[in-house]
Amino acid sequence: MATKSELKAKTKRLKEKVRALRERLDNAAGDPVAPPPKAPRPEKKVSPLAPRGGFPALPRIEGVEFATVEANVRYRGRKDVMLVRLAPGTAIAGAFTRSATRAACVLDCESKLKLPQPADAGAAIIVNSGNANAFTGRLGVEAVEAVTQAVARALSIPAERVFSSSTGVIGEPLPHERITAKLPELVARLAPDAIEDAARAIMTTDTFPKGASAEISGDGGPIRIAGIAKGSGMIAPDMATMLVYVFTDAKIPAPLLQQIVSRHVDDTFNAITVDSDTSTSDALIVAATGRSQAAPITDLDSAMGRAFADALHAVMLDLAQQVVRDGEGATKFVEIQVTGAADRQDAHRVAMAIANSPLVKTAIAGEDANWGRIVMAIGKSGARVDRDRISIRFGDILVAENGWRVPDYSEEAASAYMKNDELVIGVDLGVGDGARTVWTCDLTHGYIDINGSYRS
């Protein structure tokens, strides 16, 4: 009779043979076998920082329709694909990750936005969650082509006007046939009031769907804006971050819309961080259907141009801050204000050094008024700093200035402030006029729990 150790060794050899056979089959077919869908995860506990009142009531945007479906891309029992149909003549702008390992869908969107936008063609956006289709080589490119071309056929629009996004696990082939098989169902379900379903379908580790809106009075009628986003982890932008889709009925040419988007990315989506990690799949797409009765926006320096840009900025910032509020495991929402820097770039360096510091973030999680860690983060930032001119505040409490803690510093008062759910950390460098504000969250055991078991 074989010993226990011999049985274990035999079992191991058999497993290795099965793995080798599977790899041979995959190579012969030229397409790795997509893993079967997993059972749905247990219901997540909603972030304590989530906006009160749940998902907001967003206005209908004329010329935009949404549909969602369960395609079992990765998990069973949840909607994981959303389709947006955009009216003919819709102007589209965007911003995308600058990661060197960008996903195939990002590269496809970037190339399409460089093409001339036809005045009378419709457009579409299709998004799946559960699989990022990133670092998947030629198979990733083929998957994007298969999905976008199938959507183009289903909606009778040019393939160059179909924009796709994928979010989820990196490095696994996208089972695109599960998506294309659901297109007839998606097209049949298209409706103008299904934006909340769309926001839920693009979630991964998010604990709540994210939406924001604005409305301004245009010359001849109102102009409405509504946006949705997903994002919770892998948040440290280098363009925008996560997945964001904003829709408006404004009449505005694509080049002007792109100017606004590019102008406001830095102080919205580029001003947040959860964990210092930049995604392979970040995408921001803004679509203007032109269906408002208001007069066209043709000059960004006009009163209406400025009002529209401000409203769009407000929606972008709201969505960006909701991402931070849903940071994986987050219990604190933190605003970091840096002033007195040599220039805006140095202010950003210092703000992000503080916001991304694990020591700062864990101190915040532990409600520890350890302002020495702020000093450390300032020093490592690479910005121009004069140690003896630095001042640090927790809210309205001045804790340090002139290279030392203030004479009347109260540990009790600072510690009491750190118990708040929302915190403001102010730093003045005293060397110039540069200023920047960024938003982050704390780092808790919850972040480890979520990411330690993300693929299981």
Active-site choice (180, 241, 248, 280)? 241
Reduced to 3 states, what is the DSSP secondary structure of residue 116?
A: coil
The yes-or-no answer on residue 268 being catalytic is no
72 is in an annotated binding site: no
| Cα–Cα nearest to 123, from 73, 82, 83, 96 | 83
Alpha helices (H) along 326-420:
344-356, 358-365, 371-380, 411-417
The Cα 391–Cα 387 span in angstroms is: 9
391 is in an annotated binding site: no
The Cα 7–Cα 336 span in angstroms is: 59
79 is in an annotated binding site: no
The token pair at 154 is: 């289903």
Write phi, then psi, for 225 (nearest 5 degrees).
-135, 135
Q: Helices 371-380 and 358-365, interaxial angle, to 10°?
A: 160
248 is in an annotated binding site: no
Residues in Cβ contact with 197 at an 8 Å cutoff, skipping those fewer than 6 apart: 66, 67, 68, 79, 82
Q: What is the 3 state secondary structure string of 5-67? A: HHHHHHHHHHHHHHHHHHHHHHHHHCCCCCCCCECCCCCCCCCCCCCCCCCCCCCCCCCEEEE
Partners of 439 in the beta sheet? 272, 335
The Cα 318–Cα 315 span in angstroms is: 5
Q: 203 and 196 in contact (C-beta within 8 Å)?
A: no
Q: 36 and 172 in contact (C-beta within 8 Å)?
A: no
Partners of 402 in the beta sheet? none
268 is in an annotated binding site: no
362 is in an annotated binding site: no
The burial of 376, by beta-carbon neighbours within 10 Å (0-12 exposed, 13-18 middle, 19 or more buried), is given as middle
DSSP string, 397-438: EEEEETTEE-TT--HHHHHHHTTSSEEEEEEE-SSSSEEEEE
The token pair at 143 is: 């998957």
**Binding-site positions for substrate:** 204, 230, 241, 328, 451, 456
Catalytic residue annotation: 241
